[in-house]
Structure 1
Amino acid sequence: GKDAAALALAAVVMGTAAALATRLGRDQLGPVERADATELRHALGTLARGLVAGARHLVERRTPAYALGIMATHRFLYGVTFIASILISRNLLSDPADAGAGLATFATVLGASAVGFALAVVLTPVLSPRTGPHTWIVLCLGLAALSQGLLAVTVARPAVLVGAAALGLAAQGAKIAVDTIVQRDTDDAFRGRAFALYDVLYNAAFVGAAALGAVTLPDTGWSRGLFVVLAVGYVAGALLYGAATTRVVGRTGRTDDPAPGPDRPAAAPTSREVTGS
């Protein structure tokens, strides 16, 4: 009853906002000067060619492309767990009839994830330079696999909280390392396009995970088979990423060297090391 009332109220508010928006004239929100169809096609073509050139550059450099690929994979798997956590908090760890209790439980799970994020901010700058960012990503993926393995064994509240903290550490730690690799191994002329592609992959992977979760997850959000599959996915991602980056490191001869490209010879010194969030 309460859920239906909240959804109905949200629908009324959104409908009212949409109705009010129809009162705006076609030109009231700009642009001041309207581009003709030819200019618009040219602008869109330029944008598309720039993104394609950016993607080609990342593939040529290899390490940024590998980093974006594993980031999207990690984000997709994390997204499935995130949706499952909402359902578990509501329907397993709380009384399903009490929406407030479910929300409070999920807030606790988010708090545990936040602890993991904070630990990643502290630990990554300390440990990643010692292991190298590629190895640090592999370690984070291994930790994520362990968090999913724990949930495959039990869905008790302590396990869910520990798993959330471990996954938060893994997700944020890997993201910081990916940011570092993309920032460091991409030429200045392509860096903006690299991070534009980064944002697209980052958000698309999470939306895709939400769509998959809505179709496949049980009402309780928990399935032993699901979390086994997620754990295996993280292990497979770690193995593939580790093998791919090891081959690149073998060619360059140094753990922190960017991959060689057409305008960067093998074993060239790194441009700079940046650790961001």
Structure 2
Amino acid sequence: MTTSADVSDPHHIRIGPRRLLAIGEFRRLLFSRFSSQWGDGLFQTGLAGAVVFNPERAVSPSEIAVGFVVLLLPYSVIGPFAGALLDRWDRRRVLVVANLLRGVLILFSAVCVATGVAGFPILLLALIVIGISRFVGAGLSASLPHVVPVPNLVEANALSVTLGAVVSVIGGGCAVGLRAVFGEDNAGSGLTAAVAVVGSGLAALLASRFARGALGPDRVVEPATAVAAVANGLFDGARVALRTPTVAAGFCALLAHRASFGISLLMTVILMRYSFESWGPVEAGLPGLGVVLGAGGIGIFVAGLTTARLVTSLGRKRTVFIALGVAALSQFGLGLPMLLPTTLAAAFVIAYTGQVVKLCVDAAVQRDIGDETRGRVFALYDMLFNITQALAVAIAATVIPANGESVTLIVVATVVYLAGITGFELVSRRGQRVA
């Protein structure tokens, strides 16, 4: 299946955001991503407010960690199998059905929160909602090469993923504002979560406007039955990723980032809940966490504006190497004081560098992996990083103090980045020797 955007001319030059946005199919896919991720940010932040920052109850580090693990780990196990479906089913139909199903489950979750249901039922519902969101995200990424010229994938991916992440942060900010309007009790939290259904509904509507087959896959190289296709998803994605040095090296870099980020995330939530004091106009608690997310969102946005230029000037390998080094320095230098203002600065820098790495790895997958297996590799990608982050959170929860202040964990998070630099360099050299 080809579209008007399918251009494979190797001499094609950067066309810039304005020209990209002039491509109708790219614009439609982009707005579908925006709608989906706005709803995700609103739903997840609203749920965090109801569970973690509920003034009616205290939560321990282990309870917070269990929440992260329950939300991240189970979908990670089935992610590669979902990838096989993305390479077998019409992705346009997948995006429509998945968004509608997510909307229904968001409403059901909101009712449960409003009526005071707590504990495992809420976590299970959240797991399913966020799992579907991950599936949608993998489908959007796998569809991108069908709506933009191939030589412009780096800038198109930077624009869509970066702005999508910023929109997700905006959704989180909307949740903070809605809780202030609706109230911080169960009813208010339920109403806040329910608003997220708007994002899912609009995302489904936008996806439905694509023609059948417009988003791929172009051809299906699968066993005759869906069961066999699903069973092969994990192995196919892993095999293709390992055989592609640019992708395997990128995975090393992102695994390190997600592990370190998981440690930082747990510390930040607990510090914001129990240790930080208000700093100027920035309040501690959920509003402060919203500001931290905003600082991260700005970092992500700046990464979207600068990554393509960095790659053009430095090359993809050097860009990833430098980004990981800066992340390690900021993790140690800005994280170690464990104060609200330095945490805000660290949130910006780590989000910026992490997004630079992610955009480089996304581009490697989209450019160096064939369309017949790209969905499985993206789903494997999602699985590995969710598992890594969940494990990092779980392990950190066993040693972190109740108030979140731990010099040891800051040092460990820094060392993880250094290990990522080493792994990225070694795998990249292997690829150069093979070439």
The verdict on a shared fold, with TM-score over 0.5 as the criterion, is yes
Distance 1:11 1:136, change over 3 A: farther
Question: Aligned AA for 1:156?
Answer: L
Structure 2 residue 243 is the aligned partner of structure 1 residue 190: no
Question: Aligned AA for 1:13?
Answer: V
Find the residue that maps to 1:94 and give its secondary structure.
coil
What is aligned with 2:183?
A: none
Q: Is the 8 A contact 1:135 1:242 kept in 2?
A: no
Take 2:394 and 2:227, find their aligned partners in 1: how far apart are those partners? 29
Find the residue that maps to 1:3 and give its secondary structure.
coil
Q: Deviation digits for residues 97-150 of structure 1, max 9, x if unmatched? A: xxx842222222112111111111111111122222222111111111011111
Unaligned runs of 5+ residues in structure 2 are: 1-53, 64-111, 126-224
Q: State the Cα RMSD in Å.
A: 2.9
Q: Is the 8 A contact 2:253 2:423 kept in 1?
A: no
What is aligned with 2:326?
A: 143
Take 2:114 and 2:234, find their aligned partners in 1: how far apart are those partners? 37
Q: Deviation digits for residues 36-78 of structure 1, max 9, x if unmatched? A: xxxxxx6433322243123112212222122223322311211
Structure 2 residue 43 is the aligned partner of structure 1 residue 4: no
Unaligned runs of 5+ residues in structure 1 are: 22-41, 252-259, 261-265, 267-277
Find the residue that maps to 1:4 and give its secondary structure.
coil
What is aligned with 1:123?
A: 306
| 13, 16, 38: which one aligns with 2:117 | 13
Larger mean CA deviation between 59-68 and 231-240 belongs to: 59-68
Aligned residues: 225
Question: Aligned AA for 1:71?
Answer: L
Task: Give, in angstroms, the shift of residue 206 of structure 1.
Answer: 2.4
Find the residue that maps to 2:398 and give its secondary structure.
helix
Percentage of matched positions with identical amino acids: 33
Q: How does 1:153-232 map to 2 (within 5 A)?
A: 153-232=336-415
Question: Aligned AA for 1:243?
Answer: L
What is aligned with 2:14?
A: none
Task: Give, in angstroms, the shift of residue 152 of structure 1.
Answer: 5.1
Task: Give, in angstroms, the shift of residue 11 of structure 1.
Answer: 8.0
Higher Cα radius of gyration: 1
Task: Give, in angstroms, the shift of residue 197 of structure 1.
Answer: 0.8
Take 1:83 and 1:139, find their aligned partners in 2: how far apart are those partners? 25
What is aligned with 2:218?
A: none
Take 1:109 and 1:185, find their aligned partners in 2: how far apart are those partners? 35
Q: Deviation digits for residues 221-262 of structure 1, max 9, x if unmatched? A: 22112111111110121122123213423x3xxxxxxxx6xx
Q: Which runs of 4+ in 1 moved over 6 A?
A: 5-11
